[in-house]
Structure 1
Amino acid sequence: MDITSDTHSQHISKQFNQELEELKTHLMAMGGLVEKQVQDAVTALLDGDSRLAERVRDNDDAVNDMQLKIDDECTRVLARRQPAASDLRLVLAVIRATSDLERIGDEASKIARNAMSLAEAGNGSKGFIEVRHISEHVRKMVRDALTAFARFDIDLALEVVHEDEAVDSEYTTAMRSLMTFMMEDPRSISSVLSVMWILRALERIGDHANNLAEYVVYLVKGLDIRHIDPDELDEEAIKRRG
């Protein structure tokens, strides 16, 4: 059965309704924190702000704590309510989503650590344009994936899935450019490698945002699209498969 934003307000138990809504609310709060972590990490890099980078690194514990709290809530719902059908999909999708959000937080910490190294070394800004562009792209993917989850919006989720291909292409182009630069100027190797690790972290964030979007399709349609070619994915194709 497909679900909509109204599906989870139809239970006889108001307490069950509240528990399911709280799961979504806490997931969105975790998503907001993680998105800010990514934004602050990139800002720390571009501005050479070691203090901001250090705060991002320290805040990773808060992200981890939120994952543990939400997982515990999901476990209690499963144990007490033994949900079926769309309710079970919601709980499972939340569990999967918190895992990806925690990993996005880890990638933000990696960006922050490399930003600190670059700031302390006083190294230049080679590759920062690519970092800025790709970071804006993946942050939008995370935001859109969370919005799609909150609204049970398959169309928006599929936009995120297709955007991941664009991010992968941008990442490949940026890495080739930086490799060329290192070969032309061996003195830049250390700093450029740090930027390359940052770009790799951003590409991974895009992958996790893609996962979040795939969970939306699973949540709404009960369809696992992880191994389906993105070119074959649109609303009509999903309807035929579902």
Structure 2
Amino acid sequence: MARVEFDQELERLETEIKIMASTVEAAIEKSINSLLKQDMDLAKDVIKGDDVIDKMCGDIEDLCMSILRRQAPLASDLREIVSCMYVIEELERIGDYAEGIAVLTIKIGVRPLPTDLVIIPKMSIKTIEILRMSTDTFLIKDPEEVNSKYKTIRKQDDVIDDLNTDVRGRLIELMKNKPHEIERATYLLWVAHNLERIADRGLNIAERSMQLVGN
């Protein structure tokens, strides 16, 4: 494989990762919307859509392996391809968390939600911001810019952790005051947990970006 063709394959790989990341972002948004609107059909769509994300992960992994088979890449190229495989695995796991939120939505059901969920929408917005920034950071080659974005992402992840702590405290208090809502409040705890884990996975991608540019 000529170098020009090899570079084109790498560009195609990056494009496929962008598409997968956008699909995962949409799954997170839909899963949270299904919860807030108590839209069971939308939740089911998210669950079905996880198969699409899984297929994307498999297809991109196949592309990575195909590139590796057809040319013995330079060390830097090998590092980039291996990093791409790492990133798509993280994105696939994030998709699983979005699916998990949709499953929890169905378990919570259509009765009025047991508490005001104002913090969970905030968490979801910031979580999606982290994922978007992390994916963008992974595709940047300038070490200084990567380092700057990484610091921003770390700060955002700390905010998510604080919000998760806040949600947990509120829901535990709710369970004390309304024992009959313990089951559904527990499901909401898991929703917040999934959002916190999505942010952590986004941070993992940013950390991989730092390694890739030598920071």
TM-score range, shorter chain: over 0.9
Shift of 1:125: 4.8
Alignment of 1:162-241 (within 5 A): 162-221=155-214, 238=215
Corresponding position of 1:135 = 124
Shift of 1:85: 2.8
Shift of 1:64: 0.3
Give distance in 2, aligned partners of 1:172 and 1:34.
25
Task: Assess if the C-alpha contact under 8 Å between 2:123 and 2:160 holds in 1.
Answer: yes
Give distance in 2, aligned partners of 1:139 and 1:190.
27
Q: Does 1:150 align with 2:139?
A: yes
Give distance in 1, aligned partners of 2:100 and 2:115.
18
The aligned amino acid for 2:203 is N
| TM-score normalised by length of structure 2 | 0.93
Shift of 1:32: 0.4
Shift of 1:138: 0.5
Shift of 1:36: 0.3
Give distance in 1, aligned partners of 2:188 and 2:38.
13
The aligned amino acid for 1:146 is T
Shift of 1:168: 1.2
Alignment of 1:63-142 (within 5 A): 63-120=53-110, 122-142=111-131
Give distance in 1, aligned partners of 2:131 and 2:51.
20
Q: List per-residue Cα deviations over 1:198-231 (Å, max 9, x = no partner).
A: 001101101100011111111111xxxxxxxxxx
The aligned amino acid for 1:143 is R
Q: Which runs of 5+ in 2 are unaligned?
A: none
The aligned amino acid for 2:190 is W
Give distance in 2, aligned partners of 1:18 and 1:134.
37
Q: 1:123 to 1:117 in 2, by over 3 A?
A: farther
Shift of 1:186: 0.4
Q: Structure 1 residue aligned with 2:38, among 48, 57, 61?
A: 48
Task: Assess if the C-alpha contact under 8 Å between 1:161 and 1:214 holds in 2.
Answer: no
The aligned amino acid for 1:219 is L
Q: Which runs of 5+ in 1 are unaligned?
A: 1-10, 222-237
Task: Assess if the C-alpha contact under 8 Å between 2:16 and 2:60 holds in 1.
Answer: yes
Query: Aligned-pair RMSD on alpha carbons?
Result: 1.5
The aligned amino acid for 1:113 is V
Q: List per-residue Cα deviations over 1:92-116 (Å, max 9, x = no partner).
A: 1100000100000000001001112
The aligned amino acid for 1:201 is N
The aligned amino acid for 1:172 is T
| TM-score normalised by length of structure 1 | 0.83
The aligned amino acid for 2:212 is L
Task: Assess if the C-alpha contact under 8 Å between 1:40 and 1:56 holds in 2.
Answer: yes
